[in-house]
Amino acid sequence: MAEAEVKQEKVQSDVDSSNEKIGHDVSTPDIDAEELVLETIPEQPADASKLALEERKPEEIDLSDQELYFNRELSHLQFNARVLEQAMDENHPILNRLMFLCIFSSNMDEFFEIRVAGLMSQLEYNREKTGPDGMHPRDILREISDIAHKLVRRQYRILNDIIFPKLAEHNVHFIRRSLWTEKQSAWAKRYFRDNVLPIISPIGLDPTHPFPRLANKTFNFVVELEGRDAFGRENGLAIVPAPSSLPRLVKMPDEVSENGECMAFLSSIIHAYADQLFPGMTVKGCYQFRLTRNADLEVDSDDIGVDLAGALRTELQSRHFGSSVRLEIADNCPDSVIDSLLKQFDLTSSDLYRIDGPVNLSRLMAVLDLVDRPDLLYPPFSPGLPSKLVKNKGDDMFEVIKSRDYLLMHPFESFSPVVDFLTNAAKDPNVVAIRQTLYRTGSRSPIANALVEAARNGKEVTVVIELRARFDEAENLALASRLQDAGAIVVYGVVRHKTHAKMILIVRREGSALKRYVHLGTGNYHAGNARLYTDYSLLTSDTDLCEDVHKVFQQLTGMSKELKVKKLLHAPFTLRDRLLHMIAKEAESAAAGEPSRIIMKVNSLTEPRLIQALYKASQAGVKVDLIVRGICILRPGVKGVSSNIRVRSIIGRFLEHTRVYYFFNNHSPLVYLSSADGMERNLNNRIEVAFPLQDHKLVRRVKKELEMYLSDNTQSWVLQTDGTYQLNKPRKDDYRSAQRTLLSTLAK
């Protein structure tokens, strides 16, 4: 889900003929099957399986040919479609299936706020750009509108015809107002009178009451009125913004609930008693709607001087009122009212989404707090812990790490050793300095608390906070202020380069010498996400790695020429070129008839030079397996180009977030774990690191875990040459799920 990323706090075998296209294995005899079969989403060109370039000799093929690349935005939509399909997977408990619908909504919100908004801005300001696929922004927007409308219609059919009825079978009811009992109607009326009416502000539209400035994704109603008010005004329309302080989902009290737990939507309550907002007037219709705006911050690093924090604070104020990009509205709203709103927001019919249900499904996540039904969720689990780290959580933890490297895979293994690593350092009188990068963590998280304690204990604490982490800017500004107040040195990274690397460096006095210890990770320092995202953590005292991390911090906090590092790969300096070199070495081995292999596991793959290197490796005979959770613009299976490349996506209970680069390397495997995806922004425009695994046991372990993902036949989707994804379907009694296997082997 969107790193776009999804931020919800509460959640390779060969492809055989049993693979099925998206949604084709759905069996729902009680509803219209045609409506619930998700059409596959072809990329371009439509006849990709018969590409013209397949007729050429490999040496004649231009690897930058547009036919060899999918469109980035349409590939992004493909990922969202795979997330939506989890709501149809009966292997997930029913409340988790509802959560996937919520996550899909959240992902689509960000997709429109950032990606669609960006394309619309290109057209508005005549700054059209094309990617490797060559599609024009206007054509991309047309495709997005067509696909997104189909996905949204499918989402609400799944909600209304499958999820809600199945929850009702378990006595969890979402009750529409037309089905309220007399007792429930009386309760809703009291709730409206006591909780809604005192704080809601209806706005009639006339020359002295202009259309209100509605913030991004706020919940509103447009009301049709008839009659004249006390001042003789007769306009016919009013806007009712729903206060953000009101819950969108309300649990009915036990005394009015029947047969279990009953929920009412705020929209239903307001709709039922909207006439009380306009005494003496006749309410002809009341329709919920939501406006999505451009939410991408535009902070020009060249123009902000030294005050990035100040520039961000200013820009954050305007984020809620960017240009309009999407209108969601109740599907029974009259066309005349819709046309008026589209004109008001300067949108077209292709930007309109008629909704059969709540206009913001992500708010349904609140049901997890409203009902106590653990039987309808995945059972809880206890993450595993290496025994030596459990026994040595105090000062001896440094001695344990000094003896060997420790690799943890979250959430199957606990994130607590990483927190302990830092909290022990904060208290340890022998620790003299702590340096850390932070991208997303939270201003009151255990990590933040440990850094504050360390600074107050007199340690030299230096924190590189990336203020521009999308949608976490305000939280990171608050964290920066808190750390500065505690006495820590806070820097904001490097102009024009986001700091995305995940590093902790601890300097400890041991006898007459100083000893360094390091944590390196693929994911953020966020304890909540560590229970939802799959990520690797490495705890080490390796002298060279620690020295490398020290040099990276020198570059981030000071000013210096590029510093040579021994073992780390460091973007934007060495990471991309070293990856290209290692890919080329595998191609050389294959061309010489030697064994070769490449496995990459990333969230997204869009960097053209990296893709072209993989094409060349495939042409040379290298077997390339790519595990790409989200966006992938590489086209696999093209004769003479990518026939040796397979691409799969794993979508399951946990968000796949590890980045792993594996190379056979002439029988001496190289494994790098990284904060970086295979994207231009990561390899060219961010501060990233990739760190090697040096312990042969750890190398074998990660290779084994990669093979688990490659053999997954229950939660894996395989990218086809035409751009569609096929869901692997296991044979009878041959169910293989990487996440379930890791949960059973690593967790307690």
Q: Work out whether strand 725-727 and strand 686-692 pair parallel, antiparallel, or are unpaired.
A: unpaired
User: 737 with 729: CB under 8 angstroms?
Assistant: no
- What is the rounded CA–CA span in Å between residue 116 and residue 318? 18
The Cα 415–Cα 537 span in angstroms is 8
Contact 301, 370 (CB under 8 A): no
Residue 139: which residues within 8 A CB-CB, separation 6 or more?
Answer: none
Q: Contact 502/529 with Cβ under 8 angstroms?
A: no
Please report where in the chains the tokens 């924090």 appear, as a residue: 309
Closest CA to 618 of 599, 596, 643: 643
Comparing CA positions, the residue from 100, 234, 238, 97 lying closest to residue 170 is: 97
CA 720 to mean position of chain CA atoms: 23
> Of how many residues is the chain composed?
748
- The three-state (H, E, C) secondary structure of 604-630, written as one string: CECCHHHHHHHHHHHHHCCCEEEEECC
Burial class for 202, CB neighbours closer than 10 Å (0-12, 13-18, 19+) = middle
Displacement of CA 645 from its chain's centroid (Å): 25
Please state at what angle helix 137-158 crosses helix 94-110, rounded to 10 degrees: 160
DSSP string, 211-275: PP-PPTT-EEEEEEEES--TT-----EEEEEPPTTS-SEEEPPTTT--SSEEEEEHHHHHHHTGG
The radius of gyration of the chain's CA atoms, rounded to the nearest angstrom, is 27
How far apart CA 143 and CA 694 sit, in angstroms, is 46
> Catalytic residue among 173, 500, 526, 570, which?
500
Backbone angles phi, psi at 435, to 5 degrees: -130, 140
d(CA 629, CA 80): 11
Residue 438, beta-bridge partner list: 465
Cβ-based neighbours of 732, under 8 Å, separated by 6 or more: none
Contact 490, 480 (CB under 8 A): yes
**Structure tokens given for 136:** 């024009």
Residues paired with 561 in a beta bridge: none
For 359, other C-beta atoms within 10 Å of its C-beta total 22
The kind and range of the H/E element at 733 are none
Query: What letters, b where the CB count within 10 A reaches 16 and e where it falls short, cover 488-498?
Result: bebbbbbeebb
Quick check: is 550 catalytic? no
- Give the sheet arrangement for strand 203-204, strand by strand: 203-204, 237-241, 219-226, 282-293, 324-330, 352-355
Q: Confirm if 44 and 136 have CB atoms less than 8 A apart.
A: no
Contact 634, 47 (CB under 8 A): no
Closest CA to 167 of 376, 474, 403: 376
Cα gap 439→525, rounded to integer Å: 8
Residue recorded with tokens 């044979």: 731
Burial class (CB in 10 A: 0-12, 13-18, 19+), 255: exposed
The burial class, CB within 10 Å (0-12 / 13-18 / 19+), for 470 is middle
**Residues marked as catalytic:** 500
